[in-house]
Each structure stands twice: as structure tokens, then as C-alpha cells.
């Protein structure tokens, strides 16, 4: 026993003092996919600049990314919470359409904006709660539960109206039409809302026990439960957050298009998932960053912008996003396999 106390452990006794690189990898290895996303974004910008002969990298292009994809960014933020727990939320596109319709209808019927907007957020939250309860307390697969949410949201959108409803409420129009300028940089209130959402989400995920529980559940739900963490309510809350974000995205999209339209956002849930995955969040949960999801949205938006600039077929968009997704999922598998191999 006495001999043993002298041989007390260090993490890797044989290697001596670990190098800076080793320390960095052992601490932040999980960030590698997000760094890869940043690299791809940079490459896209450089590529765009070359193809478009110096007409691409300018403040307006970058500003427009945020302005045009504010709704997608908000969806991706909510989706990040759910995917971090190891779940998935397919409902967000149609929930966004429903809340957009709901808000437009309320405003058209003369409700004040301070009723319409909270109603939109609440509508999203309730559908999120419904999915979360199905997942957590009825043991339904997240894929199936949120698929039910997808149909429910779309159906509700059509029940509100089969046609688009114009929105003329000044407060809503203001959200998108106001252009705040700082030199050549432009931002709208919708862009600010999206950025604030990202900031709040980053704070919650990294600096609150709730946020850390989200990560713990994604790492191992069983372990999280045995550690005495509040697994059930945290998981439900992740879906409520995603639903609420979908409600907020409904508001942003309504402001963007000045109308609610029941066919909005068909397939947008897949864009949001793609952005989250490209941004480096592991589909199996437990690893990823909301800032990565923001990068993912920008990658998505940049590809789309380049294709528009080039006047190429939109089909290329899908092929490129699909290829990137494939690439990222393979990279993630490799990272996970390496981590397991080490254990």
C-alpha cells in the first residue's frame, strides 16, 4: 500500500508535460468540425470573390446574409438545443408557417401587435411542448413525434387560411424595412433579433446548469439521470425552445415577406438541420455550438448567394448542400470513431 502511494497518478505520466497542441486537442477536440465549417465559409468567400471577379466580398453581401436568413438562423438556434440532446425536430418549417399565418390573421382581424406577436411565440411553444411530452413521457421517437408536429403545424396553417394574408401592421413591416447603417454595413431589426437569439442561446448553453444538462443528456441520457440531473424537464424544454424559436422565425419571415403564407417553409426544417450539422453539431448529441450553427447558416446562405450571382440552376444548391452534409457527417463519424477507439 505504501509503495502505491508514491506512484500516484497523473493523466499521462509517460509523456511528461503535454504540448500546447495536445492540451488544446484534449480540451477542444470537439470544436474541430466547427473550425472546419469556418474554413469552408472562408473558402466559399474566396471562391465567390474569384468567380465573380472581385464583386463578392463586400459589406453588403455579408449584411444581406444576416438579413435574408434571419429566420433560418433563429430556427437553427432552436434546432441546436434539440439536436444537442440527441433528438431532432422536423416540425419547425411548418410551425413557422402556422405561426406566420396565425399572426397575419390576428393582425388582419384587428388584434394589436402586442397580442399577435406573443400569440405567435406561444403557438410555437405549445407545439414544441406537445412534441417534447410525446418524446419524454410517451417514449415516442423524436423523428416520429416531430413528424406529427410537422403535419399538425401545416394543417393548422391551412386551417387559418388557404391563401396568403397580407400584413400591413407598421410595427411588423418596420422589423424588416428599417435599414440601420454603419458605413457600408446594413442591419435590420430582424437581423438584430436573430443575433440576440444566438447570444441568449450561447449564454444559456454554456453558462447555465440547464444548458450543461442539455449537453450531459446528449452525452449519455442514462448517465445524466444517474447523476441526479433533471433529465425529463430539460428534454421537454429543448423542444419547447425549438418550437418557440419556430414561432419567432414565423414573425421574422412574415416581416420579410409582408405576408403570412400557408405554404411557407416547406422543407425548411431540413435546411435548419443541415445548417446545424454543417456548423459542427453532432447528430447523436452532446457536442456542438450554437455559434457553429450560425456559421452553418452563413455557409448555407453563401452557397445560395453564389448560385444566384452565377445565375446557375437552383438544383445545384441542393447538390452542394447535400455534398457538404455528407462530408460533415463522415467527418463527425471519424471523430466519434476515434474517440471511441481511444477509450
- Binding positions for other proteins, rule: CB under 8 A: 1, 4-5, 7-11, 18, 23, 25-27, 29-30, 203, 206-209, 212-213, 215-216, 218-220, 222-229, 286-287, 339, 342-343
Q: Which helix (H) or strand (E) holds 217?
A: helix 209-219
CB of 228 to other proteins, least distance (A): 4
207/326 with CB nearer other proteins: 207
Alpha-carbon distance 95 to 260, whole Å?
12
CB of 27 to other proteins, least distance (A): 5
Biggest distance spanned by C-alpha atoms of the chain? 82
CB of 19 to other proteins, least distance (A): 12
Pull the grid cell for residue 133: 411530452
CB of 1 to other proteins, least distance (A): 6
Alpha-carbon distance 231 to 286, whole Å?
14
CB of 204 to other proteins, least distance (A): 9
Pull the grid cell for residue 233: 424537464
Bridge partners of residue 185, in order along the sequence: 182
224/249 with CB nearer other proteins: 224
36/249 with CB nearer other proteins: 36
CB of 100 to other proteins, least distance (A): 32
CB of 342 to other proteins, least distance (A): 7
Is 76 within 8 Å of 298 (Cβ atoms)? no
26/323 with CB nearer other proteins: 26
Alpha-carbon distance 149 to 131, whole Å?
7
145/282 with CB nearer other proteins: 282
Alpha-carbon distances of 52 from 44, 49, 66, 128, 185, rounded to whole Å: 12, 5, 21, 42, 20
Is 108 within 8 Å of 168 (Cβ atoms)? no
CB of 199 to other proteins, least distance (A): 13
How, if at all, do strands 259-260 and 185-187 pair?
unpaired
Instruction: Return all residues near 285 (Cβ < 8 A) that are at least 6 apart.
Output: 83, 84, 85, 86, 87, 217, 218, 219
179/209 with CB nearer other proteins: 209
Instruction: Return all residues near 280 (Cβ < 8 A) that are at least 6 apart.
Output: 31, 32, 33, 34, 35, 36, 37, 287, 288, 289, 292, 295, 296, 328
29/267 with CB nearer other proteins: 29
9/311 with CB nearer other proteins: 9
Amino acid at each position: 500500500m505504501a509503495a502505491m502511494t508514491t506512484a500516484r497518478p497523473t493523466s499521462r505520466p509517460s509523456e511528461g508535460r503535454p504540448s500546447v497542441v495536445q492540451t488544446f486537442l484534449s480540451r477542444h477536440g470537439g470544436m474541430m468540425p466547427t473550425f472546419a465549417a469556418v474554413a469552408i465559409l472562408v473558402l466559399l468567400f474566396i471562391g465567390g470573390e474569384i468567380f465573380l471577379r472581385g464583386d463578392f466580398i463586400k459589406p453588403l453581401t455579408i449584411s444581406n446574409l444576416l438579413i435574408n436568413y434571419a429566420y433560418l438562423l433563429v430556427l437553427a438556434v432552436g434546432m441546436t438545443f434539440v439536436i444537442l440532446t440527441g433528438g431532432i425536430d422536423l416540425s419547425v418549417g411548418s410551425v413557422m408557417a402556422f405561426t406566420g399565418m396565425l399572426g397575419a390573421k390576428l393582425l388582419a382581424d384587428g388584434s394589436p401587435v402586442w397580442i399577435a406577436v406573443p400569440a405567435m411565440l406561444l403557438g410555437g411553444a405549445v407545439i414544441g411542448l406537445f412534441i417534447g411530452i410525446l418524446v419524454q413521457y410517451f417514449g415516442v421517437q423524436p423523428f416520429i413525434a416531430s413528424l406529427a408536429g410537422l403535419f399538425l403545424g401545416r394543417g393548422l396553417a391551412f386551417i387559418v387560411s388557404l391563401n396568403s394574408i397580407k400584413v400591413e401592421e407598421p410595427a411588423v413591416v418596420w422589423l424588416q424595412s428599417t435599414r440601420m447603417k454603419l458605413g457600408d454595413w446594413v442591419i435590420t431589426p430582424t437581423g438584430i433579433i436573430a443575433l440576440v437569439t444566438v447570444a441568449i442561446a450561447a449564454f444559456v448553453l454554456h453558462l447555465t446548469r440547464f444548458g450543461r444538462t442539455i449537453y450531459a443528456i446528449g452525452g449519455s441520457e442514462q448517465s445524466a439521470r444517474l447523476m441526479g440531473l433533471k433529465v425529463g424537464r430539460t428534454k421537454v424544454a429543448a423542444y419547447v425552445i425549438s418550437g418557440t424559436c419556430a414561432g419567432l422565425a414565423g414573425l421574422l419571415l412574415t416581416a420579410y415577406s409582408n405576408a403570412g403564407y400557408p405554404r411557407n417553409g416547406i422543407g425548411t426544417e431540413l435546411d435548419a438541420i443541415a445548417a446545424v450539422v454543417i456548423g459542427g453539431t453532432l447528430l447523436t448529441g452532446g457536442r456542438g455550438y450554437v455559434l457553429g450553427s450560425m456559421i452553418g447558416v452563413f455557409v448555407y446562405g453563401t452557397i445560395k448567394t453564389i448560385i444566384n450571382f452565377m445565375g446557375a440552376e437552383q438544383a445545384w444548391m441542393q447538390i452542394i448542400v447535400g455534398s457538404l452534409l455528407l462530408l460533415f457527417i463522415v467527418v463527425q463519424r471519424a471523430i466519434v470513431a476515434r474517440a471511441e477507439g481511444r477509450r
